[in-house]
Amino acid sequence: MSMELKKAIDQISKDRGLDREMLVDTLEEAVRTSVVRKYGEDLDVEVSFNEESGEIEVFQFKIVTKDVENDLTQISLEEARQHDPSVQLDDEMGFRLKVEDLGRIAAQSAKQVIIQRMRDAEQEIIYEEFKDRMGDIISGIVQRRDKSGWIINLGRTEALLPKDEQIPREHYKRGDRVQAIIIEVRKEGRGPQVIVSRSHPDYMAVLFKREVPEVDDGTVVIMNVARDPGSRAKAAVMSRDRDVDPVGACVGIRGSRIQNIVQELRGERIDIVVWSPDVATYARNALSPALISRIIIDEDENMLEVVVPDDQLTNAIGRKGQNVKLASKLLGWKIDIFTESRYNEANAIGQGLEQIASVAEVPLEVFVGAGFQTIQSLRNASEEELLAVPGLTVSKIADLRTAINFLFSAVEEPGDDGKAAPQEAETSATTSGEEAE
């Protein structure tokens, strides 16, 4: 019976991948707990596992005293000398207890402690294993669906694929095999919770590493990824070797490499963009296939004003603003897009406002502070409203109106009160990673 216990420990250690010493320590602690529960906290016991005999040995220790007040912790000198004639007062003596004497309840308690300790140890091993695999792709079988998402069976544990980490319009059924990237490992009472994602940008980056040898060995670097999961994505790449084309490496011969990634992502269209340290060049690449006329950089506002030919606005913005939105995510900059005609017109009107302020000999800031931010608003203002502007007189107002009429003969304002006319409502677009307007 004793050797069976030793075999059981060895088998559990092998099957569960648990440390054998930890199992032995757990067994010893469980038996000690059961002994204390039966005899009380005062009992001084020592429990050890005998590797040779395969038995659990329990020793009770008592102090040799003249007068015994507690039979569990003390022994009389006379009785002690029956076991050891050389014993003296205040010596400590150990007596072996029979584990069988613990009783059925104590044995059951020991079994429960052992099972719980084994479960805790196994969960800790699983947590450490998957914590170190953050960012790795795992494969599992769809097991069931709950209110949080899909439960994926990974073998030793389960993973959760939350609803917001799934690719839209992607459907699963029980038994399907699915791949995803580990994005989080949580410690919870019922065991480690592995969170996986198929919509995370890093998932695409790891897929490139798996499919493209140049990415795997570091020759080609994935600098950033922006995704509209299941629809379209942009990946910025650079090469550390001037002889290696990063776009060609990622696409592969006849698109063989990128096609594998597209199939895994259920047809998600992928644009490969060449990364550049120059933000203007990077923006031109990111907004492809649109042609860019010029880019104005506002570093204080982290914003780019992008001017495109009139016939390129649709390409620049993309369907439902997708192209400019992904480019903005990729760069990490806000992007304003203007057509050339709209941009030139806006600049001409702005310059005209400065000219009018100069004619009236009133600072431009005064007009803006009074609520006049466009030439049209000045043109529509009454005499009383203009006289309320600090520094304006009747004669200056006459000069101002003459200048306004002259300007309007050359450039017509887009609409009343600075609002663009309806036919020009789609000649510019702004995005900061949100849905483009």
Taking only the tens place, the pLDDT of each residue in 218-235 is 999 999 999 999 999 999
DSSP assignment of 242-292 equals TTS-HHHHHH-GGGHHHHHHHHHTTS-EEEEEE--SSHHHHHHHHTTTS--
pLDDT of residue 427: 39
pLDDT of residue 43: 78
Could you read off the pLDDT of 301-336 as tens digits, one per residue? 899 989 999 899 999 999 889 999 999 999 999 999
Q: Average the pLDDT over 60-64 and give the result.
A: 86
Q: Residue 4: pLDDT above 80?
A: no
| Residue 347 banded pLDDT, cuts 50, 70, 90 | low
Query: CA angle, 381 as apex, 378 and 384 as ends, to 5°?
Result: 125
Percent with pLDDT over 90 in the chain: 36
Q: Which amino acid makes up residue 294?
A: R
Could you read off the pLDDT of 85-124 as tens digits, one per residue? 888 888 888 888 776 655 455 556 556 666 777 777 778 8
Q: Average the pLDDT over 7-16 and give the result.
A: 73
| Residue 211 banded pLDDT, cuts 50, 70, 90 | very high
| Encoded tokens for 278 | 């120059």
Could you read off the pLDDT of 166-206 as tens digits, one per residue? 998 888 889 999 999 999 998 876 778 899 999 999 999 99
Q: Average the pLDDT over 365-388 and give the result.
A: 80
Query: What SS3 state is found at 176?
Result: coil
Closest CA to 227 of 183, 167, 179, 283: 167
pLDDT of residue 425: 32
The position carrying tokens 């216990």 is 5
Q: Residue 372: pLDDT above 70?
A: yes
Q: Which strand (E) or helix (H) includes residue 264?
A: helix 256-264
What does pLDDT average to over the chain?
Answer: 82
For residues 377 and 370, is the Cβ–Cβ distance under 8 A?
no
| Residue 248 banded pLDDT, cuts 50, 70, 90 | very high
| Residue 345 banded pLDDT, cuts 50, 70, 90 | low
pLDDT of residue 379: 81
Full strand arrangement of the beta sheet holding 232-239: 220-228, 232-239, 269-274
In the chain the domains, ranked by start, together with CATH numbers, are: 2-129 (3.30.1480.10), 134-199 (2.40.50.140), 202-275 (3.30.300.20), 295-316+324-437 (no CATH)
Torsions phi, psi of 244, nearest 5? Answer: -110, 120
DSSP assignment of 349-364 equals HHHHHHHHHHHTT--H
| Encoded tokens for 348 | 């001409």
Q: Residue 24: pLDDT above 70?
A: yes
Q: Average the pLDDT over 239-250 and give the result.
A: 94
Could you read off the pLDDT of 130-175 as tens digits, one per residue? 888 899 999 999 999 888 899 999 887 889 999 999 998 888 889 9
pLDDT of residue 96: 81
Q: How far is CA 70 from CA 40, 62, 76, in A?
A: 12, 10, 10
pLDDT of residue 417: 42
pLDDT of residue 420: 37
Most confident stretch, 5-9, 52-56, 188-192, 319-323: 319-323
Could you read off the pLDDT of 256-302 as tens digits, one per residue? 999 999 999 989 999 999 999 999 999 999 998 899 988 989 888 89
Residues 6 or more apart whose Cβ sits within 8 Å of residue 386: 378, 392, 397, 400
Q: How far apart are CA 280 and CA 223, in angstroms?
A: 16
Q: How far is CA 307 from CA 290, 301, 313, 319, 428, in A?
A: 11, 18, 9, 18, 9
For residues 27 and 56, is the Cβ–Cβ distance under 8 A?
yes
For residues 431 and 325, is the Cβ–Cβ distance under 8 A?
yes
pLDDT of residue 195: 94
